Amino acid sequence: MPKIITEDSIIGDVLFKWNIFEYEENNRPKSWLIFMLILAFALVIYSVFTNNFLFSLIIILFSIIVFLQSIQRPIKIPFIITNLGIIVNNRFYRYSELSEFYIIYEPKEEIKMLFIETQGLKPKIRVPLMDQNPLEVRNKLENFLEENLEKEEEPITDYIARKWKLH
């Protein structure tokens, strides 16, 4: 379980530090918004006809989240790699809470992402590398975590979210 950083928290020596956005901001055209609105409306109607009210609730909540995300700007949060763990915003993850990492770097697709797998059922940590050199970050993290060399593509959920501009 990540710990919230306080003044007396021991985080170790800072190896890398950069700011990331809370989520990716997409400049969606009006046609995208109209298409998604029609799709959401069609799915809600379908779910009502099939008596699947939970599905319609999920579609409505998802639509509200995407709408709220589109009208506000993401905040910048600090991401720090130390010799004892990583810090995302104000949460400190010890290396013992993390299992592995991998980096997806595809310049043609403009993908430069660090993925850190957590222990147990916690979600993976997805960090844009921004202006950081992926090789330098990789070399430092290899001292503390195992790199998963089998993962050469971004997760399918990230691919779909990037292509449909859902992040």
pLDDT tens-digit readout, 109-124 = 788 999 999 987 778 8
Residue among 84, 86, 111, 90 nearest 101 (CA): 86
Residue 28 scores a pLDDT above 80? no
Beta carbons within 8 Å of 128's beta carbon, 6+ residues apart: 20, 21, 24, 112, 113, 114
Tell me, rounded to whole angstroms, the distance of Cα 12 from its chain centroid: 24
Average pLDDT on 82-88 reads 93
pLDDT for res 92: 92
Q: Could you tell me which residues come within 8 angstroms of residue 2 by beta carbon, excluding any fewer than 6 positions away?
A: 88, 91, 92, 93, 97
Q: Domain 3-23+74-163 has what CATH class? A: mainly beta
Could you tell me how far CA 73 lies from the centroid of its own chain?
16
Residue 57 above 90 pLDDT?
yes
pTM for this prediction: 0.76
Q: Is the pLDDT of residue 161 over 80?
A: no
Tell whether the model's pLDDT for residue 167 goes beyond 70: no
Cβ-contact 147, 102 below 8 angstroms? yes
Query: CA-to-CA distance for 162 and 167, rounded, in angstroms?
Result: 7
Residue with more model confidence, 22 or 40: 40
Q: What pLDDT sits at residue 61?
A: 95
Token pair listed for 16 = 């890398």
pLDDT for 12 beyond 80: yes
